[in-house]
Chain A
Amino acid sequence: MRAWARELAIGARLARSGGRGSLTRVALTAVGVALGVALLLVAASVPRMIDGRDARDAARADAASKEARQRAGDRTLLVADANWEFRDRDLRGRLLRAEGAQAPIPPGLDRLPRPGELFVSPALATLLRSKEGALLRERLPHPIAGTIGDEGLAGPAELAFYLGSDALADAGARRIDRFGADVEPEGLDPVLQALAVVVLTALLVPVAVFIAAAVRFGGEARDRRLAALRLLGADMRMTRRIAAGEALVAALLGLLLGGLLFLLVRGLARDVTLWDLSVFPADVTPSVPLAAAVALGVPAAAVLVTLVALRGVTVEPLGLVRRAAPRRRRLWWRLALPAAGALLLLPLVGAGDAASGSGGEAQLAAGVVLVLVGIAALLPWLVEAVVRRLGGGGVAWQLATRRLQLDSGASARVVSGIAVAVAGAIALQTTFSGVEGDYVTGREASGDAVADVWLADDGGGRLGGGAERLAAALRESAGVRGALAVEQLEASHGTASEIVRVADCATLQAVVPVGRCADGDAFLLDGMTSLRPGARVRLGDAVAWTVPRDARVVDFPGTEPAQGAVRSIPDPVLATPGALAGVAVPPRTLLASVTLDETTPDAIEHVRNAVARLDPTADVFTMGDRSYRRQYATLRRALFAGAVAVLALIGASMLVGGLEQLRERRRPLAVLAAFGTPQSAIARSILWQTAIPVALGLALSVLAGAGLGAALLRMVGAPVSLDLGSIAGLTAAGAAVVLLVTAASLPALRRTMRPEGLRTE
């Protein structure tokens, strides 16, 4: 034990005093480890980021209490939602009206807004001031009285506002006496949760691979130095521990640097918005057990990797370093991993729904992890097996293949990282696009964009007037081809209730061919209602109405999908305003469907503005379930960004490895230059040397990723189709990495091939 410690210490000292070359290597390794550690720490902060967001979201919850309806009092507040969209972003808006002096104040505000006063989030304030936000400014023309503090926001980039209102009334609002909810916020959908496990694996395995590669940066030169130690009488075991000590120093340094880098990233968090996701720096805090795992795991892994790597190397006293008789990589255990993963996944494919059993998710996660890790294990074998059979070709090809044959391990290990990331990415992209496909079809069926508008009307005014006003406002809005608006009343009879649609004849006829129609007429859709002419019903809470005795039963020819709710969901009872003459006007809902001219920019924003002018709490929907789709889209983009980041990381380590190789071959390269070898030939050999393993890695990962994606799709019960776009995209990214790595090594190559390289060292 004492000897151990001593030898580790010698290694540590060597790392410090080994001259400039040694310092460079330690620095390289430290920087590599630091990058990996910073990424790990960010990943370790994810739980806290989600928790912080959820906690703040719960603290500002303003759902009405479930108990008996509250009475207006000194401590009550009326709240109505004004959740809008602007371009592709969500706005969380609330209209507030205090009913007493003790009304609760939402988190992040120091007082309640007075009527007409606006409190906005900093991001919304910025947007409103900007040119881009001019259109939104029309929707929020109120004076800004203050900003919402961090504790009242989900994230720094959230667009949110509180608007004081004196028009808010009992009917269209919730009455609350406090903010905050005890209810558990609903987490990710279980299928999404399982997918998130895949995302994390796909991103973290490459980081681990990268750290392992970084620990071996400069390995050859270190071996040479170790040979010198052997000459001084160190035995094989001692040299190994000395090497481990050196790696430990670099890893600890990397840990430190990584921590600093993480703090730096954390400080920048406020300014970085990945699409709709943004986090407060304070939320980017790793959970203690995970941070401890990183702090202990990384140095331990560094030592372990060094020891394992040295197993295949014989360091001889005479400075000669020869690979111990190269052991063929064994196939069986490398195949066992993905095979076990496939075995775990297969039964789930039959099951149809992965989310059903609670054990199912764990099994899914384990299967996916095994398959992905299996790729990392399989790839070095594959590269070795393929490279051994490569021959022929030009000088550049020969140099590249020979170099790979001499030691394919280094590049294969690094490429394993790419392969895992790409396989995971393709699997998920395939799954996402398969699931997403369901939403998109409806929209594509009609060439036009359609939006539906819903707003509650408190019942004031004349029946039919609300729809007319709404339709007129919509038609005036820029980029609107047409708008149909109707009013809906709820009619109950006994325990059943049905919707009565009120609109003028022209509007009714545009939806259902009712034939001859005059004000005062009413119609019943055949087969869709149990009401008969002359039936007595209650409208709303109390108003009595008799279905006119001359109401005609008409056929509804069938729905045309994607034409908007007014057309596609016809209500079973249709009435012209005259048919309800003499009835006290009950509360009703206005429904309108708008056809947009998609060539007009921001047509939908103009519609939203027009609607918000009538009623800020109105809902405007475009086709498709956006919020659900967006969850997928966010994961998808996060994944693509992660995959690209991993590719860049792997590219960096390939570059470092390549540069080291160039340094090692300085003399032979300079001599080749003297012989008149064109630089382009050597450059091409570097290209091939990078491209061959990457191509193999991509091929393997496309296969595995597509298979995994297909299996995941089968589990969700969606039709299996390959997402060729993402396969092409990631393949292109892989090719770009190869080109970039080659291009980045060219300056070093040019330097190496100068005559100075001929001078003795």
Chain B
Amino acid sequence: MSASEPLLAAQGLRKAFGQSTALDGASIAVAAGEVVAVMGPSGSGKSTLLHCLAGIVRPDEGRVSYRGRDLTACDDAALSALRRGEFGFVFQFGQLVPELSCVENVALPLRLDGASRRDAERRARTWLERLEVGELAAKTPGQISGGQGQRVAIARALATEPCVLFADEPTGALDSLNGEHVMRLLREAAHDSGAAVVLVTHEPRVAAWSDREVVVRDGRTRTTAPVAS
């Protein structure tokens, strides 16, 4: 990969669900280690764009390339393996497996990747501590607060040391104080591990934690200048 080539790029994505067009020629490029905020009003296609970038949803038209590899040409098994090994995900809420404890939740993707249980849980614990929720390791998701749950989810997303972290409204269910705190932790942890972040949000205060913003409107992208920070 040459220095100029982006880590993850998409061109001319089109995606329709029945009558409604979610993406109508969206393009985006994400460089390694970069935090890109995807902004836009509700229903503009932000989540769909993220899903296409992550290989969760196949676009009707257009091309997604990761490290020069065309994701739209990969089969489901290859995409699953890619997501397991190279991507991480944080969503708005309700993403932790309720019957597993926090540490087991964080260890889950590591174990799916082949790590032994002991090793996975040891690494999971250090990630929980980095996100300042080490004391919650033995609790189940039903016993912790929403903000704590988001931090556990971020720990889980970063535990596999992904190259790209996809975050869809990670602070959407939190109050602004909590949201700030979670964003700071996310940003720092991603920076430390060198992961690029695709951050979907409609809140400017959250987008302020990014290096750059991409605005989606009616399924089309408009790139703005890098945020001065």
Contacts and interface: CB of A to CB of B under 8 A. Distances in A.
A760 B169 CA distance: 11
A97 interface: no
Contact of B83 (A405, A668, A674): A674
A540 interface: no
Contacts of A395: 108, 111-112
Contacts of B82: 676
Contact of B84 (A403, A406, A677, A755): A677
Nearest to B113: A676
Interface in B139-179: 140, 142, 168
Contacts of A506: none
Contacts of A398: 100, 104, 117
Nearest to A664: B98
B112 A402 contact: no
A637 to B, nearest CB: 42
Nearest to A759: B47
B99 A402 contact: yes
Given A398-B104, A406-B99, A758-B56, A674 B89 contact: yes
A678 to B, nearest CB: 6
B65 interface: no
A667 B47 CA distance: 15
Nearest to A320: B142
Contacts of B108: 395, 672, 675, 677
B57 interface: yes
A143 interface: no
A392 interface: yes
A665 interface: yes
A681 interface: yes
Given A758-B56, A759-B47, A760-B92, A665 B83 contact: no
Contacts of A675: 83-84, 87-89, 108-109, 112
Interface in A703-761: 755, 758-760
B98 A676 contact: no
B80 A678 contact: yes
B23 to A, nearest CB: 14
A399 B100 contact: yes
B209 interface: no
A665 B98 contact: yes
B57 A755 contact: yes
Contacts of A759: 47
B101 to A, nearest CB: 8
A532 interface: no
A676 B84 contact: yes
Given A395-B108, A758-B91, A672 B97 contact: yes
Interface in A607-645: none
Nearest to B100: A402
Contacts of B57: 755
B85 A399 contact: no
B123 interface: no
A738 to B, nearest CB: 20
Contact of B51 (A403, A406, A755): A755
A671 B88 CA distance: 10
Nearest to B96: A668
A670 to B, nearest CB: 8
B95 interface: yes
Contact of A676 (B83, B94, B117, B140): B83
A322 interface: yes
A324 to B, nearest CB: 13
A98 B80 CA distance: 87
B87 A676 contact: yes
Name which of B87, B92, B117 has the most chain A CB atoms within 10 A of its CB. Answer: B117
Contacts of A755: 51, 56-57
Contacts of A402: 99-100, 104
B196 interface: no
B54 interface: yes
A398 B107 CA distance: 11
Nearest to B51: A755
A665 B97 contact: yes
Interface string A302-338: 0000000000000000000010000000000000000
A674 B56 contact: yes
Interface string B52-88: 0010110000000000000000000001111111011
A675 B109 CA distance: 7
Contacts of B99: 399, 402-403, 405-406
Interface in A680-695: 681
A667 B95 contact: yes
B135 to A, nearest CB: 20
Contacts of A674: 54, 56, 83, 89, 91
Contacts of A760: 92
Contacts of A403: 99
Interface string A363-383: 000000000000000000000
Nearest to B141: A668
A675 B112 CA distance: 9
A208 B71 CA distance: 54
Contacts of B51: 755, 758
Name which of A395, A405, A759 has the most chain B CB atoms within 10 A of its CB. Answer: A395
Given A395-B112, A676-B112, A759-B47, A671 B98 contact: no
Interface string A7-21: 000000000000000
A144 B182 CA distance: 91
B157 to A, nearest CB: 8
Contact of A399 (B80, B97, B109): B97
Contacts of B94: 667-668
A760 B80 CA distance: 22
A406 B83 contact: no
Nearest to A669: B97
A755 B56 CA distance: 6
Nearest to A395: B111
A674 B95 CA distance: 11
Contacts of A394: 111
Contacts of B92: 760
Nearest to B117: A392
A749 B109 CA distance: 19
Interface in A532-578: none
Interface in A236-274: none
A463 to B, nearest CB: 89
B94 to A, nearest CB: 4
Nearest to B56: A755
B200 to A, nearest CB: 12
A561 B47 CA distance: 85
A676 B85 contact: yes
Nearest to A760: B92
Interface in A388-410: 392, 394-395, 398-399, 402-403, 405-406
A398 B112 CA distance: 12
Name which of A322, A392, A668 has the most chain B CB atoms within 10 A of its CB. Answer: A668
Name which of A392, A398, A672, A676 has the most chain B CB atoms within 10 A of its CB. Answer: A676
A758 B47 CA distance: 9
Nearest to B108: A395
A406 B99 CA distance: 6
Contacts of A673: 56
Interface in A339-363: none
23 contacts: A392-B117, A394-B111, A395-B112, A399-B97, A402-B100, A402-B104, A403-B99, A406-B99, A665-B97, A667-B94, A668-B95, A668-B96, A668-B98, A672-B97, A674-B89, A675-B108, A675-B112, A676-B79, A676-B81, A676-B83, A678-B80, A758-B51, A758-B56
Please list the 3 inter-chain residue pairs (A to B) with the smallest Cβ-Cβ separation, ordered nearest first: A676-B84, A676-B83, A667-B94
Given A667-B94, A758-B47, 7 more contacts: A392-B117, A398-B104, A399-B97, A674-B89, A675-B112, A681-B112, A760-B92
Interface of A: 322, 392, 394-395, 398-399, 402-403, 405-406, 665, 667-668, 671-678, 681, 755, 758-760
Interface of B: 47, 51, 54, 56-57, 79-85, 87-89, 91-100, 104, 108-109, 111-112, 117, 140, 142, 168
